[in-house]
Amino acid sequence: MFLSFKLDTSDRPTEVHQVLSSLATEDMHGFDISDDELAKSHARYMIGGCHAVPHERIFRFGMIRPRSSADLT
């Protein structure tokens, strides 16, 4: 899962640490990629954040899991 949010704080390092610690207490692992321009650019591209791409189309597909193999026919 990718999560992005903006912090409106005067003490960003402390708040980032608190967010990551809160995730860790729930057995989730978070990474602060704020200073990693390559990772941020890649994430923007993967979620459709590119700008000025002629004729670009974004599609989202959802899959419904069948209850049984008989539901597939």
First to last CA, the chain: 32
Contacts with 50 (C-beta within 8 Å, 6 or more apart), sequence order = 44, 56
How long, in residues, is the chain? Answer: 73
- The residue type at 63: M
Instruction: Please report which confidence band the pLDDT of residue 21 belongs to, taking 50, 70 and 90 as the band edges.
Output: very high
Cβ neighbours of residue 8 under 8 Å, at least 6 residues apart? none
Q: What share of the chain in percent tops pLDDT 70?
A: 73
Q: How much is the average pLDDT of 36-64? A: 70
Q: Looking at the predicted structure, is the pLDDT value of residue 52 above 70? A: no
User: How far apart are the C-alpha atoms of 13 and 3, rounded to whole Å?
Assistant: 18
Per-residue pLDDT at 37 exceeds 80: yes
Q: Report pLDDT for 73.
A: 67
